[in-house]
Amino acid sequence: MSEGGSDILFGGDDVSEIAKLNAERAVSELRYGRPVVLATDGARFAVLALDAAAPADVARFFAAADAETDLFLSAPRARALGLSTIGPVCLRTGPQDIAELSRLAFAAGARSEAPWRPAPDLGCLVELARLAQLLPAFLVRPARPGDATLVRCLAVAEAELRAATAQETRFREVARTPVPLRDVADCRFVVFRGGLAQRDQLAIVVGEADASGPVPVRIHSSCITGDLFGSLKCDCGDQLREGLQLIARRGGGVLLYLDQEGRGTGLAAKMRAYGLQHEGFDTIEADAQIGFEPDGRRYGAAVAMLRGLGIGSVELLTNNPAKIAALQAAGIEVSARTAVLGTVTAENRDYLVTKARRAGHLLDWPAIAAKLG
C-alpha cells in the first residue's frame, strides 16, 4: 500500500503509474484549497496551497493546529523578500489572516522580518505547485499521528512524487485528423495523451516530412494572449504563424503546441506577472517576485511526441537555446537551428531585449531591423 492509501487499484501495478495517480490526486486536492498530508523522509506535514485557499480554509488550517504553522516559499520569492538563501524557506509567521500571508507570499516589493529556516526537506512543494499551476506558497504544519482534522485528507509521499516524474514522458496518440488552416492547407492535427497532471498535447503535422533526415520542427509553448488574441506584449502569435508557414515552405514538418502557458507557470500566474510588468519589473523579475525561476518549462512531452511520430533528428525553428539543449539531452539530434522572427513593437521590445540579455535567446537584431524595413 502506498503512503497515499491507494490500496485498491484499478488496472496495473506499475509503481510510477500508482505514483502518478496519487500525485495527480494531490494536485487536484491542492487546487480545491484542501490540505494534503506530505510524507517526507522521517516527517509528515499538512500543507495547504495559499494560492487556492479561501480565507475560511486558511482559518480552519490554523484553528486545527496544535503546533506552529510555517509559510513555505520558493527560493526566488524568499530572495524577493530580502532573505539570503539559495533554496526554499519556511517563515515562522504564527496565525495570520490571509491578507498578510498573501502579502508575504505574492506582493511586489514586500519585505519580511519573520524568523525563517532553509527548507530543503520541503523542496518537492515547488514541484507540486508547478504541477498544480499554483504560486509556490504553502502553509505547512507537522501532521501529528491521530490528528482528527487530517483523517479525510489525501496523503502523498515525496518518494511517490519523485517516482511519478517517470510519467512525464509517457504519451500515446489518441486522435489524428486533417484540419486545413488558412495559411497552411495540408495539415493534420495529432493529439497525444499522457504526462503528469497535463492536458492533452497537440502535434500539427504539415505536409509530408521525410523522417529519414532532419525534420523541420517548431516547439511552441502556448500563449493565449499572443497566439489567440494578437497581444502586442510578446512575439508568440507571429512565431506561431511564421513557424507553420516556414515548415510548409520546407515541404513538411511538425509544430508541437505545448500546454505551457506563461513559461509553464500557468495563465493566472502569467497575468499576475503581467500586472507586475506594468509596475516596471521585467519579465524575469516579475516571475521571481511571485516565486518562479526564470523558466520552468519541461520538454518531456515534446520529446515523447517526436518519438511517437518517428522523428529522431530535427531542424529546430527557435531562438531559445534551452529548447535545443532539452532535445539533445533526450537523444534527439538537432542538426540545424533556424531563427523564427516575430515583429518588434513598442510593447514587446523590452520583453525581447530581456529574453536576449537575461535568458540567452539568440535574437538576430539586424535581421529583425531588416524585417521592420
Ligand X SMILES: Nc1nc2c(ncn2[C@@H]2O[C@H](COP(=O)(O)OP(=O)(O)OP(=O)(O)O)[C@@H](O)[C@H]2O)c(=O)[nH]1
Q: Is 273 in the site for Zn ion (CB under 5 A)?
A: no
Among Zn ion, ligand X, none, what does residue 260 contact (CB within 5–8 Å per kind)?
Answer: ligand X
Among Zn ion, ligand X, none, what does residue 319 contact (CB within 5–8 Å per kind)?
Answer: ligand X
- Helix, strand, coil % over all residues of the chain, rounded to 5: 40, 20, 40
Binding region for Zn(2+): 223, 234, 236
Among 50, 80, 131, 273, binds ligand X (CB under 6 A): 273
Among Zn ion, ligand X, none, what does residue 239 contact (CB within 5–8 Å per kind)?
Answer: ligand X
Angle at 265 between CA 240 and CA 259, to 5 degrees: 40
Residue 116 vs 192, nearer CB to ligand X = 192
Sign (positive/negative) of CA torsion 328, 194, 260, 103? negative
Q: How far is the CB of 224 from Zn ion (least distance, A)?
A: 8
Among 134, 154, 209, 236, binds ligand X (CB under 6 A): 236
Q: Which of 34, 130, 141, 297 is catalytic?
A: 297
Among Zn ion, ligand X, none, what does residue 201 contact (CB within 5–8 Å per kind)?
Answer: none
Tell me how far apart the alpha carbons of residues 301 and 165 are, in angstroms, rounded to a whole number.
12
Among 48, 89, 155, 234, binds ligand X (CB under 6 A): 234
Q: How far is the CB of 240 from Zn ion (least distance, A)?
A: 9
Residue 152 vs 199, nearer CB to ligand X = 199
Neighbour count for residue 171 (Cβ, 10 Å): 24
Q: Is 318 in the site for ligand X (CB under 6 A)?
A: yes
Among 18, 58, 90, 234, binds Zn ion (CB under 5 A): 234
Q: Which residue from 211, 224, 229, 290 is spatially nearest to 262, judged by alpha carbons?
A: 224
Tell me how far apart the alpha carbons of residues 320 and 314 are, in angstroms, rounded to a whole number.
15
Q: Is 286 in the site for Zn ion (CB under 5 A)?
A: no
Q: Is 243 in the site for Zn ion (CB under 5 A)?
A: no
Amino acid at position 76, single letter:
P
Task: Kindly state the DSSP code that residue 167 receives in the 8-state scheme.
Answer: G
Active-site annotation holds for 297: yes
| Contact code string over 322-351 relative to Zn ion, x by CB under 5 A | ------------------------------
Residue 91 vs 273, nearer CB to ligand X = 273
Tell me how far apart the alpha carbons of residues 195 and 329 are, in angstroms, rounded to a whole number.
18
Give the 3-state secondary structure of residue 171: strand
Task: Kindly state the DSSP code that residue 219 receives in the 8-state scheme.
Answer: E
Cα 73 to chain centroid distance, Å, stands at 17
Amino acid at position 268, single letter:
A
Tell me how far apart the alpha carbons of residues 110 and 284 are, in angstroms, rounded to a whole number.
17
Among 320, 327, 332, 334, binds ligand X (CB under 6 A): 320
Residue 140 vs 215, nearer CB to ligand X = 215
| DSSP conformation letters of 86-132 | SS-EEEE--S--HHHHHHHHH-TT----S-EEE-GGGTHHHHHHHHH
Applying CB under 6 A, the site for ligand X has a residue count of: 21
Tell me how far apart the alpha carbons of residues 240 and 221 are, in angstroms, rounded to a whole number.
9
Rule CB under 5 A: which residues touch Zn ion?
A: 223, 226, 234, 236
Active site residues: 295, 297
Rule CB under 6 A: which residues touch ligand X?
A: 220-223, 234, 236, 239, 260-263, 265, 270, 273, 283, 287, 318-320, 323, 361
